[in-house]
Each structure stands twice: as structure tokens, then as C-alpha cells.
Amino acid sequence: MKKQLSLFIWAVAAFGMSPVFGATNSGMRGASTVDLTGGPAVRSQQEVNYKKYQMRTDGKTYESKDGKSLYYTQPSRRSDLYKAYDGASSSISIRTSRRETSRETAKRKYFLAHPFFQPAKGKFGSVTDLGYNMGSYDFDIQDPTLNMLSGKWDMGMFSIKEDFSYGITDTISLMAMARFDIAEYKFKWNDHSPTDKDDDTNLNLMGLGGQWRFVDNSQWIANLGLHFQHQRDLSNNFVLEAKGGYKYGRSTIYGIGRAWYVNFDGDVYGNGVTDQGQTMIIVYDTGHNAFYAEGGVGVFSVLDQDWTLNVEGMFSYYDWHNQLSLRAAIGWQPNDWVALNLYAKTNLYDSANDKTLDAYARRAGDAYYFDLGGAKLDNYHDTSFGLQAIFYF
């Protein structure tokens, strides 16, 4: 980006581009982070560290905070705490002699990967999630003086997330969560200029919550959850989740809805990279607050005594874009207290494609960002996969 930023500054001098003020404010899935399975959120955080200054655009002035950053927050892509056992039975045929008729005995098993699972009174649940999240999109800088400059934004994040829950009663549980991220963010340039990189390794998410399973009978199951999440140097999130399911044979067919109120630390969020003091940012939106929502359907099926399958389809509103995603997970549970769950999630559609967002750049030592005429997005991808180790004791 060294070459491109020199061109930006030259364009300012030659064509009188006006300086504008860059404020401060993730997160893929978190981003998610939903949750963000889709759930109360993954965050992908892109840090842009700079001193306090002012940048004006469209007659508005935003105030920056020292040491703060530019972010995009996306819900964590899963709600791993919110598993529940399924009331289905597996049959075991027992024959004691040739003269006795065979009989069936029912065995009830607590399936830890079930989307409605929560610990009973006095019990603990633990979900350790080792995940990898990828996000990318192509962009074209729209200022004609920059000779059709284009490139690709790319994010890769390895995360370790721990969700821990305790049953206050058989229907009410308390939860705590934390996530450690190792992330790298890149601007790759199509003119073969060196790739600009930034990274973030930190404990980036902590949270508390509660869940109430208010229906659980032979046919129906339903619960409500309320959670608070703090994302480091980014935002405070309040998440409301509701699920309801119908038990049919060895399956549970369910609907799910989530809503996030996100209070950002600053007033601008998007993607940005600072490399050797030079910065470029693509702005998603401005404002201290945002609202996210997800809604969808899923099915959880017991394949046999030890194996399960879970599939979810979700439509999501993430403030500046909408997304349709699909998540699938296969689980193995050899006994009542431990399970492994392998999952993957990807977007099938995203309205970010063909959107033109604001874009700015700043050279090392400068006090101002300069308007690059916008960045048109294409080929937006958001994928996550991982392994969950679930314990019940």
C-alpha cells in the first residue's frame, strides 16, 4: 500500500481533494459475533490506531479517541451454550432365551449437541470451541484519478471460545463465556504492490447470560435467553434469543430468532489496516449504535445411539447488509457426559455485493484522512468451521 498511498497524497495536491475527518469506533462471524452457529456474536476487529484529530465530511464532524480503532462487528456465529437434550429414544432388542419373545427397552439419552441443551439443577455444562473464521471481498476504488485501483480485503481468525453454564434449576441456567482470537487482516493489491497486513492477538470477548427453558414436554420445547457481551476496544452487546421446537420421532424441528443491540466505543466502523504508519479504511457505517437480527429454521436428528446431525438455515440483518447462511454439524456422543461436534457455516447470499462504501486513506505522519471516492464491493464471502468439545458433569 506504500505505492498507493503515495498516489493518494499526490492526487490531493494535483486535484485538490479535500481532507475529511476519520473518527473511531468487528469483529466474522465474529465477527457473529453471532453466536455466530449463528449466535450472539464472532467479531472481526480491524484496528486502526492513530492520534486524536478531526476529519470533516458532508458537513459532519466526528470526534476520535486516542488509541481507539476502526471496527466492524458481526455477531458471533454460534450459541454453543444453548444445547438441550432431545426426548427421543433408541431401542435395544433383548433376547434371554429361545422361548421368550424379544422385548424393547427405552433408553433416554441427553444429547449435548442439541440446540436446546442446558444443564439440570446443580449440573455444569462446558463447550470448548476451536474455530477458524474466514472473510473476504473484492473492492474497486472509484476515484478515476487513481487509475482503477483495486484489490481484495482478506481476514483469517483462529479462535478458542469457552462457554460455561450452571443449572440453577432444571429450567433456568446461568452462563459465562470468553474468547481468545489470533487474527490477521490484509489488503491485497491487484497491481502486485506489497500486501498490507495487520494483526490482533487478544482475549477479545467476555460475557454473561441466562437461559430459561419454559416448555419441555413430549411434543414441544422452547426457551428464552438474554446475554451481555463485551468485545475489547469495540462494543458492548445485549442479545435476546428465542427458540421453539417440535419433537417428531428422533428429530426436533425448530425456529430461532435473535436480536442484538450493539453500542460501539466509537462512531465509525468498517475494515482498516495500518502498515508502517500508513492507513486505509473502508467504512461500513457511522453511528454509536447498531441493531442486528437473525431468524431461521433448523432440524436436529438422532442418527443412531451415538451420532447426531444438525442443520440450520438463517437470514440475517447486519445493519448495512443482509445475509442468507447455512450451517451444518455432525456430533458423536459415546456417553452421557462428553460429545464432539464438527461444524461448518457459510453464506449463500450477501447483499454487500455491488454496494459502494466510503473509503479513506492517510499517510504516516499526516493528521487527516483523504476521501478515495468510495470502494465498490464484490464476491463477499464469510465462512467458519471448527470442532466443539462438550462436557456435562
Q: What are phi and psi of 9, to 5 degrees?
A: -70, -35
- Residue 80's SS3 state is coil
- pLDDT single digits (tens) 361-384: 888 888 888 898 999 999 999 999
Label the pairing between strands 235-248 and 220-231: antiparallel
- pLDDT single digits (tens) 308-320: 999 999 999 999 9
Mean pLDDT of 157-183: 97
More confident residue, 37 or 242: 242
pLDDT at residue 106 greater than cutoff 60: no
Determine the Cα–Cα distance for residues 99 and 324; give it in Å rounded to an integer: 58
Instruction: Report H helices in the chain.
Output: 2-15
Q: What is the pLDDT of residue 128?
A: 98
Q: How many CB atoms lie within 10 A of CB 331?
A: 24
Determine the Cα–Cα distance for residues 249 and 10; give it in Å rounded to an integer: 69
- Residue keyed to cell 498507493: 4
CA 37-41-42 angle, to 5 degrees, is 85
Which has the closest alpha carbon to 132: 345, 332, 389? 345
Q: How many residues does the chain have?
A: 393
Instruction: Report H helices in 271-390.
Output: none
Which has the closest alpha carbon to 293: 326, 328, 338, 262? 262
CA dihedral 148, 348, 43, 21 (to 10 degrees): 30
Q: Which amino acid is at 37?
A: T
Minimum mean pLDDT among 43-47, 279-283, 354-358: which range? 43-47
**pLDDT band for position 149 (cuts 50, 70, 90):** confident
- The model's pTM is 0.74
Determine the Cα–Cα distance for residues 82 and 239; give it in Å rounded to an integer: 13
Residue 4, C-alpha cell as written in the block: 498507493
User: Does residue 347 contact residue 381 with C-beta atoms inside 8 Å?
Assistant: yes
Mean pLDDT of 9-34: 30
Q: What is the pLDDT of residue 108?
A: 54
